[in-house]
A = this chain, B = another copy of it.
């Protein structure tokens, strides 16, 4: 990170410049964590409905604890976790509820290709990313927190 604050006060080419002086210097510091947007990407990569429910519980608890309007939540399912988002998923109803509550739910197309799944095999209303792992990396680089239930 590179932050430069350059303040110059001058009378350039002026014949009668009185002493130039500093008009203003303002350095805006990084906001404290409490002021930063709260964002979290939740990874689901286990073939284990208990973990899928835990991920959904975590999302719900976060929204209840800090206020749904104050936190962006993405759930990314990939690898052995992709079953969470298949049509026959036992957590289908809860995922629909989460999406209604503005939790973004993403399936990994890489994994789907590997398992010969098409969008017709998946729950309605979910979103897709080319590679779940890239999404998880990029979000963190953008400043999102990461949770692996």
Contact = CB atoms under 8 A, between A and B. Distances in A.
Nearest to A37: B141
17 contacts: A5-B6, A5-B7, A7-B9, A7-B23, A9-B20, A11-B14, A11-B17, A17-B17, A20-B20, A22-B24, A39-B141, A45-B149, A61-B131, A65-B110, A65-B133, A141-B143, A141-B145
Nearest to A14: B17
Interface stretch (A28-36, A98-106, A120-128): A28-36
A136 B141 contact: no
A2 interface: yes
A20 B40 CA distance: 47
Contact of A142 (B11, B33, B80, B146): B33
A93 interface: no
Nearest to A3: B3
Interface in A61-92: 61-62, 64-66, 71, 79-80
